[in-house]
């Protein structure tokens, strides 16, 4: 018997690379190529944050919750915030996925879902996507201990209809259904209005993509009062002060600028649609994406080879060595200029 037998062993999630070199075209972690809203920079310049660090942050992150409440027209007691949506989702697993029955999620999806399930000893079952990477809706209507689905899905970018998402929520009254809307602002339809109707629905979003604040780590969720209370209880039983005071204030400042948010999101959508045309011209195929990335496969060249050639060139994209998707690349939509550099190289490389 050794101490190691009692260790909780986990195979961790592998995040995309954060290269140290300068001059990288970074299209591998779905970050936003534009700066956060100008109010964020202004607040950083004008606020004496050093003095605030002496005290603990507000455990309820009240200023941020108030700003989310105003921006999304939802009552404050139906909002939960965390350190990135990863934190919100991990807390949600702890709070809601506590059954002997398996939690359901797609086979091709955010690769953190099975990691949390293993870590928290939650039984799970994956529901295969069809050959077009579409969800098998009926698969999510079988007996379960919870459901989690990203919409749009990652890494495919495929958007499911709101009618089908409602069907899943409505037909699972005995479990919590989590809809992970990390990419919803790039052309998706949010399930937020359904929160009024279904007590078992949690809608999770993030500042990391559409609000250009991956470095701040802000995630948030909407749900019924009851659901949010249960989530708070778990959070306060884990760490009261998860979000730092600077992040709370900067997040609130970002939300105040709706025009900037809409402008940067539509720039990304525009560049995405233009990029799709370029991918097609170069012999790539992809399911239609409504997110800030495109999941492409080439008709002749292996994804892994393209991935390595791009990397040598200082262009980082994401390659997953996983069943069904090991001949695909997930390419984040950068600025038009960054995408032009990507396509210039691909054109030459693919001949
Ligand atoms: N959900 C999905 C589907 C994602 O792709 C990501 C990004 N890795 C996250 C959640 C987590 O994002 P964050 O913790 O930065 O909010």
Distance of CA 154 from the midpoint of ligand 1 (Å): 9
Collect all residues with Cβ–Cβ distance below 8 Å to 263 and sequence separation of at least 6.
none
How many angstroms separate the CA atoms of 324 and 236, rounded? Answer: 40
| 319 backbone dihedrals φ, ψ, rounded to 5° | -120, 130
**Res 161: pLDDT:** 98
Contact (CB, 8 A) for 284 and 298 = yes
Residue 214 CA: nearest ligand 1 atom is: 15
Provide the 10 A C-beta neighbour count for residue 312: 8
**Res 1: pLDDT:** 80
With vertex at residue 218, the alpha carbon angle to CA 108 and CA 332, rounded to the nearest 5 degrees, is 45
Q: Which residues form ligand 1's pocket by a CB distance below 6 Å?
A: 84-86, 110, 150, 154, 180, 182, 206, 208, 214, 219
**Res 21: pLDDT:** 87
How many angstroms separate the CA atoms of 230 and 1, rounded? Answer: 38
Reported pTM: 0.98
What sign results for the dihedral spanned by CA atoms 247, 252, 256, 258? positive
Collect all residues with Cβ–Cβ distance below 8 Å to 65 and sequence separation of at least 6.
76, 79, 81
Residue linked to tokens 């370029």: 278
Residue 110 CA: nearest ligand 1 atom is: 3
How many angstroms separate the CA atoms of 142 and 274, rounded? Answer: 40
Ordered DSSP codes for 96-165: H--SSSPEEEESSS-TTHHHHHHHTT--EEEE---TTS---GGGGGSS-SEEEEESS-TTT-PPPPHHHH
Distance of CA 290 from the midpoint of ligand 1 (Å): 15
- Closest to 202 measured CA to CA, from 225, 186, 171: 225
Would you state the structure tokens that stand for residue 234, as one six-digit string? 């778990």
For a substitution probing ligand 1, which of 182, 210, 216 has the most ligand atoms within 8 Å of its CB? 182
Provide the 10 A C-beta neighbour count for residue 218: 30
Distance of CA 85 from the midpoint of ligand 1 (Å): 6
Distance of CA 2 from the midpoint of ligand 1 (Å): 37
Distance of CA 93 from the midpoint of ligand 1 (Å): 15
Residue 209 CA: nearest ligand 1 atom is: 15
- Grouping H, G, I as helix, E, B as strand and the rest as coil, residue 295 is strand
- Grouping H, G, I as helix, E, B as strand and the rest as coil, residue 72 is helix
Distance of CA 89 from the midpoint of ligand 1 (Å): 9
Judge if the upstream peptide bond of residue 155 is cis by omega within 30 degrees of 0: yes
For a substitution probing ligand 1, which of 81, 89, 110 has the most ligand atoms within 8 Å of its CB? 110
Split the chain (351 residues) into runs of 10 and give each run's mean pLDDT: 93 91 94 98 94 94 98 98 98 98 98 97 98 98 98 98 98 98 98 98 98 98 98 96 96 97 98 98 98 98 98 97 96 98 98 88
Residue 109 CA: nearest ligand 1 atom is: 3
Would you state the structure tokens that stand for residue 51, as one six-digit string? 């003095």
Residue closest via CA to ligand 1's atom 7 equals 182
Distance of CA 340 from the midpoint of ligand 1 (Å): 26
Q: Is residue 195 packed enough to be buried (19+ CB in 10 Å), middle (13-18) or exposed (0-12)?
A: buried
Residue 89 CA: nearest ligand 1 atom is: 10
- Grouping H, G, I as helix, E, B as strand and the rest as coil, residue 7 is coil
């Amino acid at each position: 018997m050794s101490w190691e037998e009692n260790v909780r062993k986990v195979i961790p999630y592998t995040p995309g690379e954060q290269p140290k070199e300068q001059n990288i075209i970074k299209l591998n972690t779905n970050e936003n190529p534009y700066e956060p809203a100008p109010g964020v920079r202004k607040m950083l310049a004008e606020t004496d944050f050093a003095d605030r660090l002496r005290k603990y942050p507000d455990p309820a992150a009240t200023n941020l919750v108030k700003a989310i409440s105003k921006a999304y027209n939802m009552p404050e007691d139906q909002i939960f915030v965390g350190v990135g949506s990863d934190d919100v989702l991990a807390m949600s697993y702890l709070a809601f996925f506590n059954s002997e029955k398996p939690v359901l999620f797609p086979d091709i999806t955010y690769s953190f879902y099975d990691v949390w399930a293993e870590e928290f000893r939650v039984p799970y079952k994956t529901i295969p996507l069809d050959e077009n990477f579409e969800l098998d809706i009926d698969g999510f209507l079988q007996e379960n201990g919870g459901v989690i689905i990203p919409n749009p899905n990652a890494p495919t970018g495929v958007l499911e209809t709101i009618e089908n998402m409602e069907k899943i929520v409505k037909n699972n009254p005995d479990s919590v259904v989590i809809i992970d809307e990390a990419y919803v602002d790039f052309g998706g339809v949010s399930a937020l209005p359904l929160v009024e109707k279904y007590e078992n629905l949690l809608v999770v979003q993030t500042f990391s993509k559409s609000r250009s604040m991956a470095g701040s780590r802000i995630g948030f969720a909407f749900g019924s009062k009851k659901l949010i209370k249960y989530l708070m209880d778990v959070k306060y039983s884990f760490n009261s002060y998860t979000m730092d005071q600077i992040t709370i204030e900067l997040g609130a400042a970002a939300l105040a600028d709706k025009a900037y948010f809409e402008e940067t999101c539509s720039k990304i959508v525009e560049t995405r649609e233009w990029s799709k045309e370029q991918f097609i011209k170069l012999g790539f195929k992809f399911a239609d994406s409504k997110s800030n990335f495109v999941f492409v496969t080439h008709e002749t060249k292996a994804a892994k080879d393209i991935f390595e050639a791009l990397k040598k060139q200082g262009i980082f994209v994401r390659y997953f060595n996983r069943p069904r998707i090991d001949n695909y690349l997930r390419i984040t939509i950068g600025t038009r200029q960054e995408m032009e550099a990507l396509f210039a190289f691909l054109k030459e490389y693919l001949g």
